[in-house]
């Protein structure tokens, strides 16, 4: 009797099945974007913007006023003289559809921004007058902290964005996501990140188990009690239990006063 002939491709496929099953059984890197957290409802983050360069989402940003947005300096670094390359999508939880898209008219990177240590990782984006006001209740500015306003340890803060689902799965989320993290004691964070240069007074850290901001969330908001306390800046991997996420501290006098000087806000 002739043996049934099984194509080699089918054999390979069958051989792969146990592997797939085993893979499904081990707890994997958190699967959703922003590394866990949850999807936003339309209008839940009315201050959230998608910063686009040549129409592609590169970073988050937040609305401060009808003609001002704030993001991370590293999102625009090297392109400050080319504001025309950038646009802002507002009023949509979808990364690439809905809301309206407004051109950026001018880019102001913090003068003390240092790309080697990410200090003062903040930039202001000016749009044309009233460009960021939109009569749908889906768009609204977020308030800034006062100069020098302290951040207590272990306070919950909410971070949002369209960033990667995990370090190992670098795919942007089509829908805005958010998660809650807790602010980390400054000395502890400095110590946790000492091999990566530590943190400065113009940074603060926040972390929670199995959840974090990730690549593509940069420039976006972290807020506490309705105040924009920081901007997603950097991290070592994403949702790594040993490394908290690092944020630009907007209440830092050198940052907060610079914002006021430029925008009167």
Stretch that binds ligand ARG, among 84-92, 147-155, 216-224, 252-260 (CB under 6 A): 216-224
Binds ligand ARG (CB under 6 A): choice among 157, 214, 229, 250 = 214
Rg over alpha carbons for the chain, rounded to the nearest Å, is: 21
Contact 38, 179 (CB under 8 A): yes
**Closest CB to ligand ARG among residues 45, 234:** 234
Binds ligand ARG (CB under 6 A): choice among 93, 124, 202, 213 = 213
Residue 120 burial by CB count (10 A; 0-12/13-18/19+): exposed, middle or buried?
buried
Q: Which residue is nearest to ligand ARG (CB)?
A: 235
Residue 163 burial by CB count (10 A; 0-12/13-18/19+): exposed, middle or buried?
buried
Stretch that binds ligand ARG, among 43-51, 82-90, 99-107, 208-216 (CB under 6 A): 208-216
Residues 151-170 that bind ligand ARG (CB under 6 A): 163
CB of 227 to ligand ARG, least distance (A): 19
217 is catalytic: no
Q: Site for ligand ARG (CB under 6 A): how many residues?
A: 13
* Active site amino acids: 74, 121, 218
Residues at the interface with ligand ARG (CB under 6 A): 163, 212-218, 232, 234-235, 238, 245
């Amino acid at each position: 009797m002739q043996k049934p002939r099984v194509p080699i491709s089918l054999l390979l496929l069958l051989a792969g099945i146990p592997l797939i099953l085993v893979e499904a059984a081990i707890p994997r890197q958190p699967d959703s974007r922003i590394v866990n957290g949850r999807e936003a409802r339309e209008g839940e983050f009315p201050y959230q913007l998608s910063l686009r360069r040549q129409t592609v989402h590169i970073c988050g940003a937040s609305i401060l006023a009808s003609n001002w947005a704030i993001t991370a300096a590293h999102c625009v670094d090297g392109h400050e003289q080319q504001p025309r390359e950038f646009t802002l999508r507002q009023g949509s939880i979808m990364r690439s559809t809905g809301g309206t898209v407004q051109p950026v008219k001018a880019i102001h990177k913090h003068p003390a921004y240092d790309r080697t240590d990410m200090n003062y990782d903040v930039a202001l984006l000016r749009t044309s007058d009233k460009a960021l006001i939109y009569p749908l209740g889906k768009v609204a500015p977020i308030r800034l902290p006062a100069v020098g306003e302290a951040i207590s340890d272990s306070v919950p803060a909410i971070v949002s964005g369209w960033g990667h689902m995990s370090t190992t799965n670098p795919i942007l989320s089509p829908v805005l996501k958010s998660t809650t993290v807790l602010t980390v004691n400054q000395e502890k964070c400095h110590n946790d990140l000492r091999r990566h240069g530590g943190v400065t007074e113009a940074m603060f850290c926040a972390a929670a188990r199995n959840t974090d901001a990730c690549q593509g969330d940069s420039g976006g908001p972290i807020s506490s009690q309705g105040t924009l306390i920081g901007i997603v800046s950097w991290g070592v991997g994403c949702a790594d239990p040993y490394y908290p996420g690092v944020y630009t501290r907007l209440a830092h006098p050198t940052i907060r006063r610079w914002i006021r000087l430029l925008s009167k806000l």
